[in-house]
Structure formats: structure tokens, C-alpha cells
Structure 1
């Protein structure tokens, strides 16, 4: 019977942890733009990447 109370306590702490992480992500703007990251791979880069070649 003691293990049931322990498991209920652990599950409540885990649920509160996930709720806290969700609340933090909403307050810091992590969920503001869900569309742009999914299409970023389809967009072209306008500026070329700088060369790291030492012979130039």
C-alpha cells in the first residue's frame, strides 16, 4: 500500500514539472511562431556563406 502512495506522489511531482515547463515555455515565447521553422528549409539563403579557405 505504501508503494501506491509513493507512486501517486511521484506522478504528481512529474505532472507539476511538466506543467511548470509548459508554463515557462509559454511565458518566454517559445510557442509564438510555429509555422516559420517548418518552412525555413524551403527558403533560399540570399547571402553566400563566407569561405574558411586559408589559401585566398
Structure 2
């Protein structure tokens, strides 16, 4: 029973911390472009670049 007096507040603090981290990541734009990095891997940059002459 004594362990519940420690575990319940500790779990509430952990949940509060996780909610704060999620809100911070949403506000800072971490989830704005979810598809871009995945498509960037598949793009080929093998096309020859035009020369300047």
C-alpha cells in the first residue's frame, strides 16, 4: 500500500511530462512534413548538371 503513495504521483508527473513534450513538438512544427523525408530518399540526383560553357 505504501508503494502506491509513491507510484501514483510519479506516474502522474510522467504523464504530465509526456503531454508537455507532445504539445511542444506539435507547436515547434515537428509534424508539419511527414512525407517529405521519405520521398527525398527515393529521389535520384543522378541527372547530369548542365555545364556553364
TM-score normalised according to structure 2 size = 0.75
Query: Where does structure 1 lack aligned partners over 5 or more consecutive residues?
Result: 47-56
SS at match of 2:45: coil
Tell me the number of residue pairs that the alignment of Structure 1 and Structure 2 aligns: 47
RMSD of the alignment, in Å?
1.7
TM-score normalised according to structure 1 size = 0.72
Query: Where does structure 2 lack aligned partners over 5 or more consecutive residues?
Result: 47-53
Structure 1 consecutive aligned stretches of length 4 or more whose deviation exceeds 3 Å: none
